[in-house]
Amino acid sequence: MKEYTLGKTGITVPQNAFGALPIQRVSTEEAAHLLRRAYDGGMRFFDTARAYTDSEEKVGIAFEGMRDKVYISSKTMATTKEKFWSDLETSLTLLKTDYLDIYQLHCAARCYGEGDELYECMKEAKKQGKIRHIGITAHKIGVAEDIVKSGLYETLQFPFSYLASDRDIKLVEDTAKAGMGFIAMKGLSGGLLTNSEACMAFMSQYPALPIWGVQRESELDEWLGFFGKEIEMTDDIRNFIENDRKELLGEFCRGCGYCMPCTVDITINQCARMSQMIRRAPSQNWLTEHWQNEMMKIESCIDCGICKTRCPYELDIPNLLKKNLKDYKEILAGKEI
């Protein structure tokens, strides 16, 4: 397992880290167990966020008394300085710590710079020792490129998987040239990619720290299984990735949910990618009465367009939903999948 240094932060950890978004969905005991097992298995970097409901609290419980043995990053979606400080204090309290290794502006709509209230708060928090490094997360490539050019941030968190475009790959390389750390979110593209070995082999070629979202013990086992192994990009894996890219590239929904809520309550983050999910997971899970009802809600879409303004990938969501529904109906009618 290679180590990766997050740019000028000097934080050096195994290139195999823990994304603490999914632990919102399990009990505190289960979450603490997963986090401690991740640590025991070799993981040292844990990424959470104020927006992930009780994730910070669970991380705080898991690592109480061993704060100096792990690196913890968190995030704020604050838009005012008051909210920034109240979020930071809440995060520190819940994480049972007096500092964060990296504090990130969460899902930035633009690159906040000198003179911007939020960036000034970041500098002040660093001066006070409450945060060690200033980071930012973005979903839009143009925003991420501006962040790298600005030279103001020590880390950038951005979606990165083997479905990345050449522009995404250049972003990662430019981040390294700028002395910034790159934290790779959505390394499984929101659950679409299921071959962990291919995902890990891809990631190992780049200066990037993947934070794998972990909710189940079996998922954690897969990631921990890479410790003590040489991760290599082999011809077999390269061919697998090439074929998967051919199948998946283009207009596809990553399942992030930023477009929601829908005006008429369509579960966009699942329904807009049903065609892929049904072919990549046990299909009967997606053919239940529940999912049939959810899919039929697409017929009530009023084309208000609100979802489109929120999608970081600028997808034409109403049309994507319609395409998925057409395919779904054909599958229900007996089409081979």
CB of 144 to ligand SF4, least distance (A): 16
What is the distance between the alpha carbons of residues 200 and 195, in angstroms, rounded to a whole number?
9
Q: CB of residue 172 vs ligand SF4: minimum separation in angstroms?
A: 20
Give yes or no for residue 192 binding ligand SF4 (CB under 6 A).
no
Please report whether residue 188 would count as binding ligand SF4 according to CB under 6 A: no
Give which of 1, 4, 3 is closest to 176, Cα–Cα: 4
Kindly give, in sequence order, each residue whose CB lies less than 8 Å from that of residue 188, ignoring residues fewer than 6 positions away. Answer: 161, 194, 196, 199, 212, 213
Nearer to ligand SF4, 66 or 302 (CB): 302
Site string for ligand SF4, 195-234 (x = CB under 6 A): ----------------------------------------
Q: Would you call 205 helix, strand, or coil by DSSP?
A: coil
207/71 Cα distance (integer angstroms): 18
**DSSP codes of every residue in 119-167:** HHHHHHHHHTTSEEEEEEE-SSHHHHHHHHHHT--SEEEEE-STT--HH
Q: Indicate the burial class of 320 (C-beta count within 10 angstroms; 0-12, 13-18, 19 or more).
A: buried
User: 160, 235, 227, 234: which is closest to 2 by C-alpha?
Assistant: 227
Contact (Cβ atoms closer than 8 angstroms) between residue 122 and residue 155: no
- For residues 18 and 38, is the Cβ–Cβ distance under 8 A? yes
Site string for ligand SF4, 248-277 (x = CB under 6 A): -----xxxxxxx--xxx-x-xx--x-----
| 315 touches ligand SF4 (CB under 6 A) | yes
Query: Which window, 21-29, 144-152, 168-176, 313-321, contacts ligand SF4 (CB under 6 A)?
Result: 313-321
* Cα separations in angstroms, 57 against 31, 46, 48, 60, 300: 10, 13, 10, 5, 39
Distance CA 123, CA 116 (A): 11
Q: What is the DSSP letter of 74?
A: E
Distance of CA 185 to the CA centre of its chain: 3
Instruction: Tell me whether residue 196 or residue 319 sits nearer to ligand SF4 (CB atom).
Output: 319
Interaction residues for ligand SF4, span 97-126 (CB under 6 A)? none
317 binds ligand SF4 (CB under 6 A): yes
Contacts with ligand SF4 by CB under 6 A: the residue count is 27
Quote the least distance from Cβ 157 to ligand SF4, whole Å.
16
Cβ(151)–Cβ(114) under 8 Å? no
Q: Which is nearer to ligand SF4, 66 or 304 (CB)?
A: 304
Centroid of chain to Cα 43 = 17
Q: Check residue 303 for interaction with ligand SF4 (CB under 6 A).
A: yes
**Could you say whether residue 311 binds ligand SF4 (CB under 6 A)?**
yes
Nearer to ligand SF4, 105 or 277 (CB): 277
Is position 316 an interface residue for ligand SF4 (rule: CB under 6 A)?
no
* Shortest spacing between CB 92 and ligand SF4, in angstroms: 30
Task: Please identify which residue in 302, 309, 329, 335 interacts with ligand SF4, judged by CB under 6 A.
Answer: 302
Q: Is 143 in the site for ligand SF4 (CB under 6 A)?
A: no
For ligand SF4, the binding residue among 2, 292, 305, 326 (CB under 6 A) is 305
Q: What minimum distance in Å lies between the beta carbon of 47 and ligand SF4?
A: 19
Footprint of ligand SF4 (CB under 6 A)? 253-259, 262-264, 266, 268-269, 272, 301-307, 311, 313, 315, 317-318, 321
